[in-house]
Amino acid sequence: MNDPALRSIATAVPERALDRAGWLAAADRMSPPDVDRKVLARLAERSGIDSRGCSASVEGPDAFYGPPGEPDPGTAARMGLWSRSARALAERAARAAILDSGLPASAITHVVTASCTGFESPGIDAHLVEALGIPRTVRRVNVGFMGCHAAVNALSVARDAVRSRPGAVALVCCAEISSAHFHRSARLDHLVANTLFADGAAAMVVADGPVPRLAATHSALIPGTAAEMAWTVGDHGFSMTLGAAVPDVLQRTVGPWVDEVLAQHGMRRGAIGGWAVHPGGPRVLDAVGTSLGLPVDALHASRSVLRDHGNMSSATLPFILKRLGDDRVPRPWVGLAFGPGLVGEMVLVT
């Protein structure tokens, strides 16, 4: 049985982008008075982010987040922002991915969506069926609330569908509106999350065809790390808990895990032409690179996506895979992403 091909990848970001100065102005507006503004500046400087998409308005009379003293948006209002923005970005990315695949929308048999920044039903999947003319008999799967690694989970579902059903065509779409969950908080992990996360969407078409091929996906739940990262629903949006030990855990565990997986495919690290590592932040990239013994430039695509777009949660890894393709980086590629659990997810593209 042949491995399905990754026929196309397309991306979309909001029209509104915040450069570093724009973010600092927004952070100053949203942060409580007791937050040291020098801390905000240091976090922005260390983030590795020059620009990122932001669906939420952060200034002017229609600002989604008002100045200190005004009530925070409730979870319902945040879900409204997510719904409007995620649908629009998902539609743009999916429309482009279908066009680039060379296949008609009428050929799609499976739609797999992923998002951890919002929920509703009917959701993004139903919207794509209506907007793009996808058959109403399509099989739909939503990968919800899994975090930054959900693109690999979604690709795994798509790969299995195409392998199990001759002629199947799967549309995968990851859409994240992180700006719906900025927090007016003095907690350091909230300040870090506010600084790193961004908005974006990516869509991929998986079907029989030529290379690049989705050779495999793999998953590993790292024991004893459940307290290091969490993503929970609160009365004022979703709340991220980030432990300071995450980079250390990844530096200790990623290399041995990747070696074990590659060995199952008769490969070693030196055979990998391109690395797509989800940029949870610069420290995460440094830790993974060290664990794998990679030269600094091996993670250029990951760092450049972080610089240009920020951490778009599940949508980020497809952005990096697309950049590897656009830069004609030789395959095989390894994609790695990490999320609450801690969980590592890997995709092997050959």
Q: Which has more pLDDT, 210 or 113?
A: 113
Residue 11: the pLDDT is 98
Q: Which has more pLDDT, 19 or 72?
A: 19
Q: What is the mean pLDDT of residues 31-35?
A: 87
Residue 301 and residue 163: Cα distance in Å, rounded?
29
Q: What is the mean pLDDT of residues 140-163?
A: 96
Pull the structure tokens for residue 6.
Answer: 């990754």
Q: What is the mean pLDDT of residues 258-268?
A: 97
Name residue, tokens 């530096």: 251
By mean pLDDT, which of 143-147, 150-154, 172-176 is the weakest? 143-147
Q: Are 173 and 142 in contact (CB under 8 A)?
A: no
Q: Are 299 and 289 in contact (CB under 8 A)?
A: yes
Residue 211: the pLDDT is 83
Q: Which of 76, 28, 18, 22 is nearest to 199 (CA)?
A: 18
- Average pLDDT of the chain to the nearest whole number: 94
Residue 112 and residue 34: Cα distance in Å, rounded?
43
Residue 149 — pLDDT band, cuts 50, 70, 90?
very high
CB within 8 A of 88, min separation 6: which ones? Answer: none
- The answer on pLDDT for 1 being more than 80 is no
3-state secondary structure of 41: helix
Amino acid letter, 91: E
Q: What is the mean pLDDT of residues 283-296?
A: 96
Backbone angles phi, psi at 43, to 5 degrees: -60, -45
Catalytic positions:
148
Domains of the chain, by residue range, sit at 5-207, 214-349
Amino acid letter, 289: G
Residue 70: the pLDDT is 77
According to the CATH classification, is domain 5-207 in 3.40.50.10540? Answer: no
Same fold, 5-207 and 214-349: yes
In this structure, what is the dihedral angle of CA atoms 325, 253, 145, 39, given to the nearest 10 degrees? -90
Q: 170 has which bridge partners?
A: 110, 206
3-state secondary structure of 171: strand
According to the CATH classification, is domain 214-349 in 3.90.550.10? Answer: no
Q: Omega of the bond prior to 332 within 30 degrees of 0, cis?
A: yes
Residue 6: the pLDDT is 97
3-state secondary structure of 347: strand
Residue 236: the pLDDT is 85
Q: Which has more pLDDT, 311 or 66?
A: 311
User: Does pTM surpass 0.85?
Assistant: yes
Q: DSSP character for 197?
A: B
In this structure, what is the dihedral angle of CA atoms 218, 260, 295, 48, given to the nearest 10 degrees? 40
3-state secondary structure of 201: strand
The beta strands (E) that lie in the chain are given as 5-12, 17-19, 51-53, 110-115, 139-144, 169-177, 199-207, 214-221, 229-234, 237-242, 274-277, 333-339, 343-349
